[in-house]
Homo-oligomer: A and B are copies of this chain.
Amino acid sequence: MSIARTTIAALLLTVSAPALADTLVDNVRGSTITSGGQVETFTGLLFDDAGTIVRVIHAGDKKPKARKEYQYHIDGKGRVMLPGMIDAHAHVMGMGFAALTLDLSDTTSLQQALDRIRTFTAEHTDRPWIIGSGWNQESWKLGRYPTAAELDAVTGNRPVWLERVDGHAGWANSAALKAAGVTASTKDPVGGKVERNADGSPQGILVDGAMALVAARLPAPRPEDRDTALATAQQLLFKRGVTAVADMGTTIEDWQAYRRAGDANRLYVRIMAYAAGVDNMTLIGGPGPTPWLYQDRLRMNGVKLYLDGALGSRGAWLKTPYADAPGTRGLPQLSQTQLGNLMSRAALDNFQVAVHAIGDEANATAIGAIEDLAATYKGDRRWRIEHAQIVDLKDFARFGRSGAIASMQPVHETSDRIMAEARLGPDRLAGAYAWKSLKDAGARLAFGSDAPVEAADPWAGLAAAISREGSDGQPAGGWQAQERLDRASALAGYTTGAAYAAFAETKFGRLAPGLRADFILVDTDPLTASPAQIRATRVVETWVNGGRIWSAEEKPETTSNNRR
């Protein structure tokens, strides 16, 4: 009986759905990257009410028939259509919270930052702690870290905690250090450092493993705050044309916020989650990765593991000492054995593994661990190395052979190059942010932003990937220009490459029949425009699953989206 009912219902759906409400968007200059990595151009897209692409219309094709092949027609007005951009490495909740807290990322001097902090503190007298992020003593040309004393002068006795732009150091005022009980007698924790004055007293900066000393004392955000942060992050992504994002370091609290949004039809972006460590992995995923939930809007793919820190804070794990700090090679967070054990624990239950590796020693260690595990854990594992920022030239071939995915963030190169030259000296630069060499060696590229470390802006990323020039056009011709990437490969990094890196290539990342209708309409063709033009790209509309969820001209039509 029930079988019969099932069949009847299924038939009805199959028959009626396409007839029901197919939509044609035509008169577009469309480009998508094929599974073969080539550029395919097209003029229109036909998709059904379930948000699935039915047909891609090419120049010279017979036009679909109105009423027969589609119900709704949208004139693309000659705009450029691309697949929705995919950010292969971001921190979704971090983006939202950064937007809701004090953002210092565009400050160019310590004084400007202090003025901003004074104003924000005065404007938010209700907050027991003043929390912010985005500062970078390098962009301030300060030549040193800022101090607690400098903060005290503008914040008084309320505790203040400001994370560095790379999230690998924190700036605390005296009230915060007091609240955390950090004194001259506090020892540096493993993998961390308390910057100190001559007398050993804390100077106000806590690096990597030492950040928790204060971070652990911060008032936890309420669930309502998390929901607000997620909504904010989604808007930040959509206005840049990003329709899917890999969330690197998902906690159970983050996951619950994603599920709340999904349950309430408030989850529009597609999130591929990588749990913050194996405990979150097991709690979120249970015996293995979750299914794709909410029409492929949410899946927990695997786990994010930290092997080292960042370059700016000298936490990156290098093979030889820092050029500008000969006493240290960085702050490894795990030994190769510890890394192998954690990766093994995850792979055992078929979780995907994403290893944060910035320094060349960290990258060599991660590749070594993958080589070891590949023998045990066969099949399609798609080991990811996040950042792969500094790789020893000797290791490129190994990297390629390992089949690892190089999940890189092109804008880091343009933001960090001067700092990188100081940290690494001249001899290690050829292996820094070397996406072209990694691709040629056989590694798969996936591009992202590392937002909120950088803006979640794929256009700045595309420009950097093909030009190696900063937003100021410097250095002309590009830094380490031999690593410039061809445009198709750069676009692939933000579409098909990022989808593949998250086991999503059969669902989205390109525009083809059977895949999700996730696309954007923009005013610039990244395959022909200049880097400056690409950086200035205006996103006109962002569509997810056949529903327009963002428009530069109107309010997003959440109605149509909610239905899907």
Please tell me if the beta carbons of A547 and B263 are within 8 angstroms of each other in the complex.
no
Tell me the nearest residue of chain B to A225, going by C-beta: B287
A287 contact from B4, B224, B284, Cβ within 8 A:
B224
A521 to chain B, nearest CB (A): 15
Complex Cα gap A4–B72 (Å): 10
A291 contact from B222, B264, B287, Cβ within 8 A:
B264
Please tell me if the beta carbons of A6 and B563 are within 8 angstroms of each other in the complex.
yes
A563 contact from B9, B16, B285, B548, Cβ within 8 A:
B9
Q: Which residues from chain B contact A181 at a C-beta distance below 8 Å?
A: none
A349 to chain B, nearest CB (A): 9
Q: Which residues from chain B contact A21 at a C-beta distance below 8 Å?
A: 5, 8-9
Please tell me if the beta carbons of A20 and B16 are within 8 angstroms of each other in the complex.
no
User: Does any Cβ of B come within 8 Å of A3's Cβ?
Assistant: yes
Q: Mark A218-229, 1 if CB is under 8 A from B, else 0.
A: 000011101100
Interface size class on chain A is 35 or more
Please tell me if the beta carbons of B283 and A257 are within 8 angstroms of each other in the complex.
no
Q: Which residues from chain B contact A8 at a C-beta distance below 8 Å?
A: 20-21
A288 to chain B, nearest CB (A): 8
Complex Cα gap A290–B259 (Å): 10
Please tell me if the beta carbons of A287 and B20 are within 8 angstroms of each other in the complex.
no
User: Does any Cβ of B come within 8 Å of A532's Cβ?
Assistant: no
Tell me the nearest residue of chain B to A10, going by C-beta: B563
User: Does any Cβ of B come within 8 Å of A183's Cβ?
Assistant: no
User: Does any Cβ of B come within 8 Å of A49's Cβ?
Assistant: yes
A12 to chain B, nearest CB (A): 6
Q: Which residues from chain B contact A1 at a C-beta distance below 8 Å?
A: 23, 72, 74, 557, 560
Complex Cα gap A223–B2 (Å): 31
User: Does any Cβ of B come within 8 Å of A195's Cβ?
Assistant: no
Q: Which residues from chain B contact A6 at a C-beta distance below 8 Å?
A: 559-560, 563
Given A12-B20, A259-B259, A286-B257, A2:B559 Cβ within 8 A:
yes
Complex Cα gap A481–B334 (Å): 69
Q: Which residues from chain B contact A137 at a C-beta distance below 8 Å?
A: none
Which A residues contact B (CB, under 8 angstroms)? 1-6, 8-9, 12, 16, 20-21, 23, 49, 71-72, 74, 222-224, 226-227, 252-253, 256-257, 259-260, 263-264, 282-287, 290-291, 293, 547-548, 557, 559-561, 563
A-B contacts besides A5-B49, A12-B20, 9 pairs, CB < 8 Å: A1-B72, A2-B548, A2-B561, A3-B559, A5-B20, A9-B21, A222-B287, A256-B286, A264-B291
